[in-house]
Amino acid sequence: MSEGGELPIELAELLELACAQAVGAGQQLLQKYRSGDERGVRSKSTPTDLVSDADVEAERYIRKGIAKTRPGDGMLGEEGDDQPGLSGLRWVVDPLDGTVNYLFGIPHWCVSVAVQDGEGTGGMGKDGMGTLAGAVYDPLRDELFAARSDGEPTLNGGPIGATRCADLATAMVATGFNYDARVREAQAGVLKRLIPHVRDIRRFGAAALDLAWTAAGRYDAFYERGVHVWDVAAGVLMCERAGLQIRELPERDGLPWGVLISPPALVAELLELVGAG
C-alpha cells in the first residue's frame, strides 16, 4: 500500500474489469451450452476431472481482455499457465467452474474472475496474495455477484448479506467432493459425521458459485477440501465482506487443504465436525 494506507490502484476500475470479463466469457459459454455442440472434452488429473474446449476458449477470452486493459498484470488461470507480471497485481481466473455440470447439461456453473496483490486482505492469501476484487457470474440466471476489499458484496449491483444463523441444527451447509476417489472416501466419513447435526447438505458441484450463494444467504455455511485458488479467490472475498468467518482446513489424514465459511456463532462447532479427518 502507499503511504497513508491508500491503495495505489483504483478498486472500482479493477472490479469493473473483473465483472466485464466474467460476463463476456459467461455469455460465450452460454451460447455453446444452449447449442449443445460442445464436443472437445478431455481429462486432467483423474478420469472424472474434465476440461472442455469451452473452458480453454473462455479463459483465452478473459486473458485477452485483461491483457488489453492491463498488460503489466500477472495471470493465473485454471486452464493456462501462471504468468508473472510487473505491476504487483495478479488475476486469478476460473473460466468455467462446474465443467462436469456444463457438459452434462446441469444448470449450475459459473465464471470466476478475481484480482490479487501482496497487500490485499481478502481471500485466503495462502501464497501471500490477498484478493482486492472479484466477480462470479452465473450466465443461466444472469446473476453477477461482485465484491471488492473495501465494500459490501453485491448481486446485480444491489447489496447482499449472509445469514446470521446461530443454531447448527437449522444450518443449510454446502460442500463439494474431490476428483480423487480415495479423497472422496475420506470426505464421506466427514459428511457422515456432519449430517446428523445440521438441517441439510447441498452439493451442486461449483465451489465459486457455492461461495457466492453463501455470501448472499442462500446457504448458511460452506466447506470444501481440495479447492484451488481460482475456485475460491473471488467467492471467499464476498463471504468475508458479507460478515462471515473464514477458516483454513489444514491437510490431514489423507484430506487436502480446504476452506470453511461460517457465521461467527457456528465456527467452533463446524470446525470440530469437519476440521478433523
* Residue 232, C-beta contacts closer than 8 angstroms, at least 6 positions apart: 123, 124, 207, 208, 211, 259
Domain end marker among 105, 129, 159:
159
Angle at 192 between CA 191 and CA 195, to 5 degrees: 75
| Number of structural domains found in the chain | 2
Domain end marker among 159, 182, 215:
159
Same domain, 230 and 172: yes
> Which is nearest to 23 in space by CA: 141, 149, 108?
141
Whole-number mean pLDDT of the chain? 89
Q: For the segment 142-186, what is each residue's pLDDT rounded down to a tens digit?
A: 999 999 999 999 999 999 999 999 999 999 999 999 888 899 999
Answer for the pair 229, 127: CB distance below 8 angstroms, yes or no: yes
Same domain, 75 and 194: no
Same domain, 80 and 186: no
Residue-number span of the structural domain to which 151 is assigned: 3-159
pLDDT at residue 45, rounded to an integer = 52
Q: For the segment 139-150, what is each residue's pLDDT rounded down to a tens digit?
A: 999 999 999 999
Q: Pairing state of beta strands 50-52 and 41-43?
A: antiparallel
Same domain, 155 and 223: no
Q: What is the CATH number of the domain that holds 176?
A: 3.40.190.80
In the block, cell 455477484 appears at: 145
Same domain, 130 and 202: no
Q: For the segment 52-73, what is each residue's pLDDT rounded down to a tens digit?
A: 788 889 999 999 999 999 999 9
Looking at the chain, the whole-number percentage of residues with pLDDT higher than 90 is 75
* Residue 120, C-beta contacts closer than 8 angstroms, at least 6 positions apart: 129, 130, 131, 132, 149
SS3 37: coil
Same domain, 141 and 260: no
Query: Can you give the pTM of this predicted structure?
Result: 0.90
Q: For the segment 73-84, what is each residue's pLDDT rounded down to a tens digit?
A: 999 997 777 888
* Residue 125, C-beta contacts closer than 8 angstroms, at least 6 positions apart: none
Residue 55 CA to residue 61 CA, distance in Å, equals: 10
Same domain, 145 and 252: no
Residue 19 CA to residue 58 CA, distance in Å, equals: 14
pLDDT at residue 224, rounded to an integer = 97
Q: For the segment 23-47, what is each residue's pLDDT rounded down to a tens digit?
A: 999 999 999 999 876 555 555 555 5
